[in-house]
Structure 1
Amino acid sequence: MRSDAKENYQHLLVTARAVVAEEGANASMRDIARKAGVGPATLFRHFPTRDSLLDALLRNSLEELTEKANTEESESSADDALVAWLREAVAFVRIYSGVVNLMATALADTTSALHTSCANLRSAGTRLLTRAQEVGTADRSMTGNDMFALIGALGWIGDQAAYSARSDYLFNVIASAMLIDRPNRALETRTS
């Protein structure tokens, strides 16, 4: 890629990140191009579809969150790793309004540019859940899909003005319900 094309690409990603954080995952591609100071053709040359733009935009964050699961798995107890990663995942979905719907749709559509990143993320979270279930600290009836749905629900709660003040409390209620014999442990706010 030529240096000017690479600069355009990076500039488009920076602009898209700001627009999507402000307007949500359904932000207009034309608005992104306009705010980046380029024509729509330039945007579509780099990102032919909304999914391809969102994949490029979200891929690093999704990969970081997947890597966070690996780190937590190797450095923390099963239940601590699960709760810490769950907190990180909820924080991620709160950054981009509407991303949960995109991720759920991408998981169902193997042709989506977002499919692989989302599937890897769900697998990483499921692995943490399974580990906690195997050592007897997490509810065995919960599935990875259940947990993914809870991440979306908790992210949505945090985005709602009427509920956002209670979002940490509600996160702790859900995390405590997932754990067995350690409900008070999940209520400890972990910020790292």
Structure 2
Amino acid sequence: MTNLEITKDLFDTLPIDDKLSPSKFINIYWDLYVNRYESSNSMNGTIFENLVIIALGRAGIENIYFQTELTYVPSAIFDVFLYHPEGSYALSIKTTLRERWKQADLEALAIKQVHKDVQCFVVTLSKSEVGARRKRDNLYAGLDGFVLANSEEFDNLVAELITKQFQVAGSVPIVKTSDRRYDAQKFLSNFDLKI
């Protein structure tokens, strides 16, 4: 099965309760995925990324660029990029961190060289690794923080994001991969979800 088929199957198995907070949504559907499917690092990451994107969409956030490259930021693919002319956001979505936070930090540093007003966060499920990273908060070159997706921290991040109206990234190509963007139509076609 593809990642889209697996994600749809999760929602067919357990229809989404509209009252779920973003973190509860992540918690419930991640647990359902882990209990129903054989673990694979690649598929785990993609399913987690889908769930984070859907959590953002459920909150009313549109124009969610995913797995996208930005102009003038070479060799970096951003899991999620939310464009706003007065302050964009880049999210690196990782089920676990291990050494991957280093790549996210370098990508955050690179994007901030071009887009000075972007905020960069790692969204993860790994509480122990986030605890270890937070002990060294002053050592990061570009990251603005780590967010636990299955906690109130994620709810707070989503609450911050819904205060902005993210846009299509303009006529000057800021985003090189403009076909990789979730809006209401793409949520409907990929996941049968009305946002």
Q: Aligning the two structures, in what range does the TM-score lie when normalised by the shorter sequence? A: 0.3 to 0.5
Structure showing the higher helix proportion among its residues: 1
Q: TM-score, normalised by structure 2?
A: 0.35
Bigger Cα Rg: 1
Q: Which of structures 1 and 2 has the larger relative contact order (alpha carbons within 8 angstroms, sep 6+)? A: 2
